[in-house]
Structure 1
Amino acid sequence: MDHSESSLLDAVLASIDETPDPRLRQILTTVTRHLHAAVRELRPTNREWEQAVEFLTAVGQKSDATRQEFVLLSDVLGVSMLVETINGADTGTESTVLGPFHMVDSPVRELGESIDLVGKGEACVVTGSVRDVDGTPLAGATIDVWQCDENGFYDVQQPDSQPAGNGRGLFHADDKGRFWFRTVVPSHYPIPTDGPVGDLLTATRRHPYRPAHVHVIAEAPGHTPLTTHMFVADSPYIDGDAVFAVRGSLVTEFAEVTEPAYAERYGVSAPFRHAHFDIRLTRAAA
């Protein structure tokens, strides 16, 4: 058998050529072609290739029911955001990355309920609406939100100090597509650095920080589900997100409110922070 570099690639591609699923055949062919090209360009030693395999093995071993290290790797390499950009709608609210912490179901909550089960951070009220891109309110739309606490930790990271479901909530918009809930202002935070992705950041002298944000998944019948963020406008790292996910249209003012009457309306004490986020969903393809 001819084991020249080009003939080896040809042999592998020929072995894929009979794959019945055309999309799978396309994916395998393209990935194989680019992977072989990268190896030919880099000329890795046997030990370097072993280290690459060991790194990917460690990424898999670090993943568990509440930690997805492969998602984290995709995020810090900008691949997650690239996929979002490719698949993003031309109209409607811009999408961004899912992140590695949407690993548990958000508890169903009533409109106006608080997703903060601890009560130590700066009080915040989030209001918004879900509409079609033509402005039609989407009654009953679901809004799934999750966020870290005021110290930058998600509930799944601190099961001994945060109750399960802290910072999470699944809401249904009212008959005018409106939603509102209470929470605390989230903090900027470092992505987990105690695994192989953290080692990669250290080796490349990159910081691990994300600006403060609230994750949102919005869904309504007949519309394409949206995964997005509300970024806190004055947060550190708003211009240097470690996972490249900030979009200007998603940067949201968390304004201080001092009027007692306004605070009473939402069941909080003044002063508090208020953020408003309107969501526009595109219609799903027929």
Structure 2
Amino acid sequence: MEFVIENQHLTVTVKEKGAEVISVIAKENGIEYMWQADEKVWNRHAPILFPFVGRLKEDRFRHNDNTYLMGQHGFARDAKFSVHERLSDSITFILAPNGDFKHVYPFSFELQLTYQLFENQLSVIYKVKNLDENTMYFSIGGHPGFNVPLAEGEMFEDYYIKMTPEIPRERLFLDGPFLAAGKTVEVEQNRFSLERNLFLNDAIIFKTPEATTVTIASEKGPHGVTLSYEDFDYLGIWTKPQQDAAYVCLEPWCGLADRSDADGELQRKMAIQSLESGNKRYFVHRITFF
């Protein structure tokens, strides 16, 4: 099932499966900002990453002497959420605890996703609540894919990425699907042109411990997107390097793929989040469409 929220600027469509945004259309000019999930290229739009971001070594982890199997980015992106509250310009989904996940994830939890419009901005609000008796360990993140280019007559290479504040940032590197152990570099460049070869080794990853804004914009046109957040520790920028991959994902993360030397123990996983029994935590990012 699909649900629509809207205001005077934007029409947003969200599907029940994965609580995933599948369309954002500007009313003024009809521009579709979201990648439309071409099966031959990348078959998603904006998946929710929970309870892990990225890949686990051997697709498994250990906790309290038990081993659990888990695919890339966790199970939330393929789970059926229920609608908790719906207004004309906002909607809230809940993934409630049930036995379907216990064999892959040993914690009782509630995951809530709220999408709220204000003018030409969409706020994405994640709420994680620990319903378990024990400390819960998890990662969470967004993975929205935006059409690039956005206008006829433009090319992928006409666009650029800009990050603010303009400060040096730590860049992390991948070794296949995993973080390269001990390989980081400080990068001072805050703006770079989009080129296919930037993504030959998958995602570009930055550590962002401060409030961060990242923009995709065109050298030749007025349209683009800006994503801003304070609650996420890392940013992934990703597309496939092939020519028909006409999108770029801006991905705020609290969590990372396993390091290439990870031992699989959940509590020692790099960038893992913890939440005490009965507690809840919010994560928010905002997307402005222009």
Place the TM-score, normalised by the shorter chain, in its bin.
under 0.3
Instruction: Flag the structure with higher strand content.
Output: 2
Q: TM-score, normalised by structure 2?
A: 0.25
Q: TM-score, normalised by structure 1?
A: 0.25
Instruction: Flag the structure with higher helix content.
Output: 1
Structure 1 or 2, whichever has the larger Rg, is 1
